[in-house]
Amino acid sequence: MTKAEIVNEISNRTGYEKNSVQTIVEAFMDSVKKTMVDGENVYLRGFGSFIVKHRAEKTARNISKNQTITIKAHNIPAFKPCKDFVEAVKKNTK
């Protein structure tokens, strides 16, 4: 599902204009991004959590050049769905 499809779905369910819904969806995504860039997590009860995970510095190999490289410590964004969300997806296994 794309952002445009999400906007259409919300617009159809609520009766709001697509332009208004698109502005709200983009504002939500910007808020989540800004909060995570600032190092904070976002918790949406009943849906899941957008969390910042820390990766420690590590040594890796570039096998094409046969070199050892160091990957610096860094943060990555992650999403952890709530238990009900996970169970609903598991039940829909075909």
pLDDT 10s digits, 10-52: 999 999 999 999 999 999 999 999 999 999 999 999 999 999 9
Measured N-to-C along each axis, helices 3-14 and 18-37 cross at an angle, to the nearest 10 degrees, of: 130
- pLDDT for the residue numbered 92: 80
Q: Work out the burial of residue 10: count CB atoms within 10 Å of its CB; fewer than 13 is exposed, 13-18 middle, 19 or more buried.
A: middle
- Is 19 exposed, middle or buried (CB count within 10 Å of its CB: 0-12, 13-18, 19+)? exposed
* Cβ atoms of 49 and 83 closer than 8 Å: no
Q: What does the pLDDT read at residue 12?
A: 96
Task: Give the per-residue pLDDT at 48.
Answer: 96
Give the per-residue pLDDT at 41: 97
The pLDDT value given to residue 52: 96
pTM of the model: 0.79
